[in-house]
Chains A and B, each alone.
Chain A
């Protein structure tokens, strides 16, 4: 349970939030976007419609996840 006085103090100490400027966001956005898309690609599409690595091991390993997460699998 939160102490009443501490919650009041927080309410006073939290005026309108300040936006993070786009310039500070951009490098992380590029890095995060690349990393995330790569991860989602291997779960969702590798060795299915497109194939960077030959064989079926990646497809077979993530098979159930690909079906249940909604990607077309085969």
Chain B
């Protein structure tokens, strides 16, 4: 318990000590992201892949009806649905795990949450809402066969702009909420922050262009199930990342971690 961050004797306030803590948190964030991604992969494998297969079957039937030659498979479907999906999910988990750890390292001790576990879970929920839910409400995930390749550049751009604006809006709402909480009380702060978030999200989503590229005859139930499983996969990823990171960060912050 000598190095416990919460004791903060003059010796432990040294730059090097905090540098080590921040590095450890970043590494553990990426590990938490990878572990959470493994769980998300299992979810996607069971719930997402069947819908991807149905969408590809629709695409194949459509191009066969148009008399086009079947699409050449550069990488087989089974590799895409196993190693490919696993690699993509783990890279995504590690990437957001790192960003999550950085936000946590900044928020810890600055927001009024004592427990690292509670803070981690709360930030994970906030991250899911900001980075996934809000952008996906405007630009929902699409299965293969949905979407016009000619507009890909525009759709990619607007999607990333939507994520960036959502993060800005969350930061603004958080700052306003905290100011109000300091002036009044925590409940009023949460209410004001939440109201600002909803209002600004509505404005941003109203302002950005709409995309409507679902082909005629595409089964509605496949589209719905695909989007459900895509959101479910993200909920598994962010939820378990928050829980795992909370467990991994606690020993670092309490000075009980042995290595890294």
The answer to whether B147 and A40 have CB atoms under 8 Å apart is no
Interface positions, chain A 52-69, Cβ under 8 Å from B, are: 56-57, 60-69
CB pair B108–A20 under 8 Å, yes or no, is yes
B42 within 8 A of A: no
On whether A65 and B89 interact (CB within 8 A), knowing A70-B234, A72-B147, the answer reads: yes
User: B13-21, B177-185, B196-204: which one contacts chain A?
Assistant: B13-21
CA distance A40 to B20 in the complex (A): 25
Closest B residue to A69 using CB positions: B92
Which secondary structure dominates chain B's binding surface? helix
Across the interface, do B234 and A61 meet the contact criterion of CB distance under 8 Å? no
Complex-state Cα separation, A33 to B95, whole angstroms? 8
Closest to B19 in A: A24
Question: Is A27 a contact partner of B19 (Cβ separation < 8 A)?
Answer: yes
Cross-chain contact A19 with B109 (CB below 8 angstroms): yes
B1 and A13 form a contact (CB under 8 A): yes
Question: Within 8 Å CB of B6, what residues of A?
Answer: 13-18
Q: Are B233 and A61 in contact (CB under 8 A)?
A: no
Whether a CB of chain B sits under 8 angstroms from the CB of A1 is: no
> Are B88 and A17 neighbours in the complex by a CB distance under 8 Å?
no
Measured in the bound complex, the distance between the Cα atoms of B48 and A71 in whole Å is 14
Q: Are B95 and A14 in contact (CB under 8 A)?
A: no
Task: Let me know if A23 is at the binding interface, CB within 8 A.
Answer: yes
**What's the minimum C-beta distance from A55 to chain B, rounded to whole angstroms?**
9
A63→B84 contact, CB < 8 A: yes
With contacts A67-B141, A68-B52, A68-B229 taken as known, whether A28 is within 8 angstroms of B88 at the C-beta atoms is: no
Interface size grouping (class) on chain A: 35 or more
Residues of B within 8 A of A18 (CB): 5-6, 8, 13, 109
Q: Are the C-beta atoms of B234 and A72 separated by less than 8 Å? A: no
CA distance A50 to B202 in the complex (A): 29
Q: Determine which of B88, B135, B156, B230 lies in contact with A43 in the assembled complex, contact meaning CB atoms within 8 Å.
A: B88
Contact residues of B between 151 and 194, Cβ < 8 Å to A = 152-153, 155-157, 159-160
Q: Is B4 an interface residue (CB 8 A)?
A: yes
**Chain A residues in 8 Å Cβ range of B89:** 65, 69
Measured in the bound complex, the distance between the Cα atoms of B4 and A42 in whole Å is 38
> In the complex, how many angstroms separate the beta carbon of A14 from the nearest chain B beta carbon?
5
A73 CB to nearest chain B CB (Å):
7
A21 to chain B, nearest CB (A): 6
Q: For residue B147, which residues in chain A have a CB less than 8 angstroms away from its CB?
A: 72-74
Q: Which residues of B contact A48 (CB under 8 A)?
A: 152, 156
Q: Which residues of A contact B (CB under 8 A)?
A: 13-25, 27-29, 31-33, 35-40, 42-45, 48-50, 56-57, 60-74
Give me 29 A-to-B residue pairs in the complex whose CB atoms sit less than 8 angstroms apart, sorted by A's number.
A17-B6, A17-B109, A18-B5, A20-B22, A25-B22, A25-B105, A28-B23, A28-B26, A29-B102, A32-B26, A32-B98, A32-B99, A35-B95, A40-B95, A43-B88, A48-B152, A64-B52, A65-B89, A67-B143, A68-B44, A68-B230, A69-B230, A69-B233, A69-B234, A70-B135, A70-B141, A73-B142, A74-B144, A74-B147
Besides A20-B108, A71-B141, 10 new A-B residue pairs in contact (Cβ under 8 A), listed by A number = A18-B13, A18-B109, A20-B105, A42-B91, A49-B153, A63-B80, A68-B141, A70-B141, A70-B234, A74-B152
